[in-house]
Amino acid sequence: MYALFFQLVFRRMDAERAHHLAFRWIRLAARVPVLRTFAAALLAPRHPELRTEALGLRMHGPFGLAAGFDKNAVAVDGLAMLGFDHIEIGTVTGQPQPGNPKQRLFRLVADRALINRMGFNNEGSEAVAARLAARREVFRTTVGVNIGKTKVVPEGEATADYVLSTERLAAHADYLVVNVSSPNTPGLRSLQAVDQLRPLLAAVREAADRTVTDRRVPLLVKIAPDLADEDVDAVADLAVELGLDGIIATNTTIARDGLGLRSPAGLVAETGGLSGAPLKDRSLAVLSRLYARVGDRITLVGVGGVEDAEDVWQRILAGATLVQGYSAFVYRGPFWSRAVHKGLAARLRTSPYATLADAVGAETRKVTA
Ligand SMILES: Cc1cc2nc3c(=O)[nH]c(=O)nc-3n(C[C@H](O)[C@H](O)[C@H](O)COP(=O)(O)O)c2cc1C
């Protein structure tokens, strides 16, 4: 039914307009008590066997919404209402910024993919922190806060920009993510080089500990799928060395592998990060590589091309404790999360594993044994 709606309504609209329209409905639904009750009964996860502990947090399940959908934390309850077990807001930057000129979001429908060059359009960490502080929780969910560098801040001053956002946002974050992997902020991805990443992560850790003293805010780093294998290993080793809590793999890719046969060449040639189905294999490969390197010492979050319960299951077997998605939400609609939970619970039941935790990394361990 959603597929028909997508074809009739959303497909005819500019992708960003469709996003804002859907967003408005989600926010509205969370405010209307009768819709809230209905949605909570219909959509919220009701599979006790999927309950997940990760990053020292208890969650309804392992499946969450990736960063970029709710950049300013305006729809957290609406998204929780749709059944996401965690919601990663952001990317939030030190200063507010408009992002790149429109048009900056493109749907490659035939490839079940998106290309975006949004460029971290967001209201800035001060405004987002104020909104999170004022939030009266309607639906219990885990809120991750993803931070990045303000475009106009010179690369040499990037750390101060991340630290500023950390000081403002850490108190409102169940977990904090340092995003160094978006392709749409010039120079950002060079922060993934270990000699730049080490002082950045250490400074953010210190700022989080200094600002929040009643608990330890889990800190993760989000990496690109375009890193060479040796660089993936280097980030993994650094994460262990620094006592990081997690790694999120992966962001969008600048590669265009597996595209071009179905989608128009003009669209494929758009500048920006590619997400969705064509990213699946590379994101999974990066995740497996990370798990082979760090094992259970660090929580891994698998993201990139996840479309259904089987994809979530494959990420868990590869080593992910948590799994996220974004692009497939656009194509599969509001019941997506519910379908994923249902399928995942069924998959676990027919598997040799008693719990999801037992399944984490099982496939990668087999290959590396
Ligand atoms: C329109 C759009 C905006 C995004 N914005 C962000 C962002 O601000 N920060 C971030 O870390 N990732 C961002 N992402 C990347 C997603 O969080 C995710 O890593 C990527 O899309 C791969 O997952 P998917 O294939 O399920 O979409 C964005 C993705 C899309 C499609």
- In tens digits, the chain (369 residues) has pLDDT values of 777 776 667 677 888 998 888 888 888 888 888 888 887 777 765 799 999 999 999 999 999 999 999 999 999 999 999 999 999 999 999 999 999 999 999 999 999 999 999 999 999 999 999 999 999 888 889 999 999 999 999 999 999 999 999 999 999 999 999 999 999 998 889 998 899 999 999 999 999 999 999 999 999 999 999 999 999 999 999 999 999 999 999 999 999 987 867 888 899 999 999 999 999 999 999 999 999 999 999 999 999 999 999 999 999 999 999 999 999 999 999 899 999 999 999 999 999 999 999 999 999 999 877
Report how far ligand 1's centroid is from the alpha carbon of 353 (Å).
31
Q: If you measure from the C-alpha of residue 66 to the centroid of ligand 1, how many angstroms do you get, rounded to a whole number?
A: 6
Which residue owns the Cα nearest ligand 1 atom 4?
Answer: 68
Ligand 1 pocket, residue 68 CB under 6 Å: yes
Expressed in angstroms and rounded, the spacing between residue 250 Cα and the centre of ligand 1 is 9
Determine contact, residues 39/32, Cβ cutoff 8 Å.
no
Does the beta carbon of 323 sit less than 6 angstroms from any atom of ligand 1?
A: no
Residue to probe by mutation, ligand 1, list 16, 72, 251, most atoms within 8 Å of CB: 251
Half-sphere exposure in the Cβ direction for 153 (13 Å, CA): 20
Q: Which residues are catalytic?
A: 182
CA torsion sign for 230, 231, 232, 238 is positive
Q: What is the pLDDT, as a whole number, of residue 45?
A: 59
Ligand 1 neighbour 144 (Cβ under 6 A)? no
Instruction: Report whether residue 119 contacts ligand 1, using a CB cutoff of 6 Å.
Output: no
Dist. CA 64–CA 362, nearest whole Å: 21
Residue to probe by mutation, ligand 1, list 100, 111, 165, 252, most atoms within 8 Å of CB? 252
Instruction: Kindly state if the Cβ of 185 falls inside 6 Å of ligand 1.
Output: no
212 SS3 class: coil
Region for 81 from its dihedrals, namely left if φ exceeds 0, alpha if ψ lies in -120 to 50, beta otherwise:
alpha
Task: Give the nearest ligand 1 atom to 222 CA.
Answer: 11
- Whole-number pLDDT of residue 233: 96
Q: Give me 70's structure tokens.
A: 């709710």
d(CA 244, CA 157): 22
Ligand 1 in reach of 182 Cβ (< 6 A): yes
Distance, in Å, from the CA atom of 65 to the CA atom of 77, rounded to the nearest integer, reads: 12
Element (H, E) at 286: helix 280-294
For residue 309, what is the enclosing H or E element? Answer: helix 309-318
